Structure 1
Amino acid sequence: MSGTSKGPTPGSLVWRLANKWRVAVDRTLAPLDLTHAQYVLLSSLFGLERAGRRPSQRELADHTGLEALYVSKLARTLEADGLIERTRDLTDTRAVRLALTDRGHEVVRPAMGLVQELLDRLLAPLGGQDDPRTAALVRDLTTLLDAPLDLPPSRKDS
């Protein structure tokens, strides 16, 4: 490294943008008494249920990209708030299945609407959700997310 700054690194920009968006979602959802992480769990569960699935906590963790232990903690909180129900899987007693309650459905629907409105505002500088620039951003971010973390070094050490 030369010590000369060439501007922010891609990692720094992704980290700053992720934090900026998380704060924006937290503020948007505050009137519904939800955090961004709780919203991710609830909206993902909503989508999976619409697809006919009743995921386990592990499956929901894999689907959302959240750590399994964090999903367990979130699920317990959301269960205490009456938004989801957690039940032991009858065929695998280690697994806990999740489902939205009626109250969970009542909360997640307006939350999804609020987050969609926010997403419209956040993506406006790229031309909106349907703009080709947004589609390109989604493709690029997906490529980065799908890349394994254990990539070999790009150059050989001497």
Structure 2
Amino acid sequence: MSNAIEGATPGFLVWRLSMKWRVAIDRALAPLGLTHAQYSLVASLQGMEHAGMRPSQRVLADHTGLEALYVSKLARALETAGLVERTTDPADSRAVLLSLTGEGRAAAGRAVEVVRELIDGLLAPLGGIGGAGTEAFTEALTALLDVPVPPVTASREE
């Protein structure tokens, strides 16, 4: 039986899918001591470091779509856990640079494996991570994310 809701809007379905995946990822990462939000930081840092970058908290916030203040809070918690190192940017004393510690790299590697396996299962109806349906789905999502949010011009009065 489908979990689809008759007459549901695309926005509602995107929200429901997002919530379903977030809960599933939180549950999968709990044994590793990470939340979905913390995972988004360590996995993003892992990818950025692999590309030779050492991002600031602001750059990481922009990359993940999380609020800068929330990224700062998460980074402090990850620093306390020994997974992330925070240092002042020598080029801009207001900016904080982030990097994974050795323990953080190991935790990120384990977490990425767990999440990749989970996502492959969640994408099974589309052919899994490497499936043609997943590729089309990813292209559609990317197209939607590339659209700027239109300004709200006026509220409607009834």
TM-score (norm 2): 0.90
**In structure 2, how many angstroms separate the alpha carbons of the residues matched to 1:21 and 1:124?**
14
Unaligned runs of 5+ in 2: 154-158
Encode CA deviations 1:53-78: one digit per residue, 9 max, x unaligned: 10000011111111111111100110
TM-score (norm 1): 0.90
Instruction: Give runs of aligned pairs for residues 52-71 of structure 1, distance below 5 A.
Output: 52-71=52-71
Instruction: Give runs of aligned pairs for residues 69-80 of structure 1, distance below 5 A.
Output: 69-80=69-80
Q: Does 1:86 align with 2:107?
A: no
**1:135–1:151 Cα change, 3 Å:** farther
1:134 alignment partner in structure 2: 134
**In structure 1, how many angstroms separate the alpha carbons of the residues matched to 2:89 and 2:130?**
40
Instruction: Give runs of aligned pairs for residues 98-137 of structure 1, distance below 5 A.
Output: 98-137=98-137
2:28 alignment partner in structure 1: 28
Identity %: 61
**In structure 2, how many angstroms separate the alpha carbons of the residues matched to 1:66 and 1:83?**
19
**In structure 1, how many angstroms separate the alpha carbons of the residues matched to 2:106 and 2:48?**
16
Task: Decide which moves more: 32-41 or 144-153.
Answer: 144-153
Shift of 1:150: 1.4
Q: Does 1:43 align with 2:43?
A: yes
**In structure 2, how many angstroms separate the alpha carbons of the residues matched to 1:104 and 1:79?**
9
Secondary structure at 1:88's aligned position in 2?
strand
The amino acid across from 2:67 in the alignment is E
Q: State the 4+ residue runs in structure 1 displaced beyond 2 angstroms.
A: none
Shift of 1:127: 1.3
**In structure 1, how many angstroms separate the alpha carbons of the residues matched to 2:36 and 2:94?**
27
1:97 alignment partner in structure 2: 97
Shift of 1:6: 6.1
**In structure 1, how many angstroms separate the alpha carbons of the residues matched to 2:51 and 2:6?**
46
1:19 alignment partner in structure 2: 19
Encode CA deviations 1:81-103: one digit per residue, 9 max, x unaligned: 11001000111001000000011
Unaligned runs of 5+ in 1: 154-158
**In structure 2, how many angstroms separate the alpha carbons of the residues matched to 1:152 and 1:79?**
39
